Structure 1
Amino acid sequence: MPLEVGKIVEGKVTGITAFGAFVQLPEGKTGLVHISEVAQEYVKDVSAHLKENQMVKVKILSIDTNGKVSLSIKKAMEENPTIVKSRPPVEVDWNSGKNSSSNASFEDRLAKFMKDSDEKLHDLKKSVESKRGSSGYRKSAQY
């Protein structure tokens, strides 16, 4: 099947660089997914989103006269939301914390959370102030 602009095809990531990823397409052609086209969110490191030999769906954005193929994973996901990776639901056991009682009311648990939070904030502030020194600000010398 010939490559056409606008088509969504599957390819294999063959290389990752600081500016994007190279994807081998059907018929042996290779295209580039620019870092700005890897994901919906800001991508600082391409290798945090893609791995070599990973199969990905890409949309063909352009094919220039020299045969360079520009690709987008982001636009392929927009058109086919079923390929977006879904995360499994997270189960939270609200009664598994330290010193928590399954008989405690919501208000009791909230009060305990607020107390613990205030204590941690106080400890953090004390730690930051001790690192700054007790002299406060320094006065500049007057001439």
Structure 2
Amino acid sequence: MTLKAGSILEGTVVNITNFGAFVEVDGKTGLVHISEVADSFVKDIREYLKEKDKVKVKVLSVDDNGKISLSIKQASAPKKSARPIEIDWAKKGKPQPTVNFEDKLSKFLKDSEEKFQDLKKHQDSRARGYRKNSSS
């Protein structure tokens, strides 16, 4: 059987690295990148796979140089709900206090000015300390 994109086959894990696992399929070796091992984030691939494990893989691509890209997570059965979640935008989660734009802007400017003054004081005090030490 020739390997082509979209095929789902069974293979054997032959080597594991930090970035993925090499799987032998039909006498050829392809790479399952760490991002294609599971639906959740995979920090350590060795928690999911061991050498000589039998795995079901989907062929993602075969390039001109013969490099084979594989996926374990795409080979598994699709999730029950493949439809996007419907959101009712008319409903509001919890009532938000009504604050007009001018009030928000005024609060932002006040907070911003306070932060700026603190920063300026800090920089002035550091500059004065630097001058004292440099004149010695």
> Shift of the alpha carbon at 1:79?
4.2
SS at match of 1:39: coil
Query: Is 2:29 the counterpart of 1:3?
Result: no
> Shift of the alpha carbon at 1:78?
3.9
Query: Is 2:17 the counterpart of 1:17?
Result: yes
In structure 2, the gaps of 5 or more residues are: 81-136
> Shift of the alpha carbon at 1:14?
0.2
Residues 1-143 of structure 1: pairs in structure 2 closer than 5 A: 1-26=1-26, 28-79=27-78
In 1, the alpha carbon distance for the partners of 2:77 and 2:3 equals 20
Q: After the TM superposition, which segments of 4 or more aligned residues of structure 1 sit over 2 Å from their partners? A: 78-81
In 1, the alpha carbon distance for the partners of 2:78 and 2:4 equals 16
Q: Which residue of 2 aligns with 1:120?
A: none
SS at match of 2:9: strand
In 2, the alpha carbon distance for the partners of 1:22 and 1:45 equals 15
Q: Which residue of 1 aligns with 2:108?
A: none
Query: Bigger CA drift: 70-79 or 36-45?
Result: 70-79
Residues matched between the structures, number: 81
Q: Percent identity?
A: 60
In 2, the alpha carbon distance for the partners of 1:52 and 1:39 equals 17
* 1:57-79 deviation line (CA, Å, top 9, x unaligned): 00000000000000000100144
* 1:71-122 deviation line (CA, Å, top 9, x unaligned): 00010014499xxxxxxxxxxxxxxxxxxxxxxxxxxxxxxxxxxxxxxxxx
Structure with greater Cα Rg: 2
**Paired amino acid for 2:22:** F
Change (3 A) 1:49 1:56: same
Q: Tell me the TM-score normalized by structure 1.
A: 0.54
> Shift of the alpha carbon at 1:4?
1.1
**Paired amino acid for 1:34:** H
**Paired amino acid for 1:47:** R
Q: Which residue of 1 aligns with 2:131?
A: none
SS at match of 1:15: strand
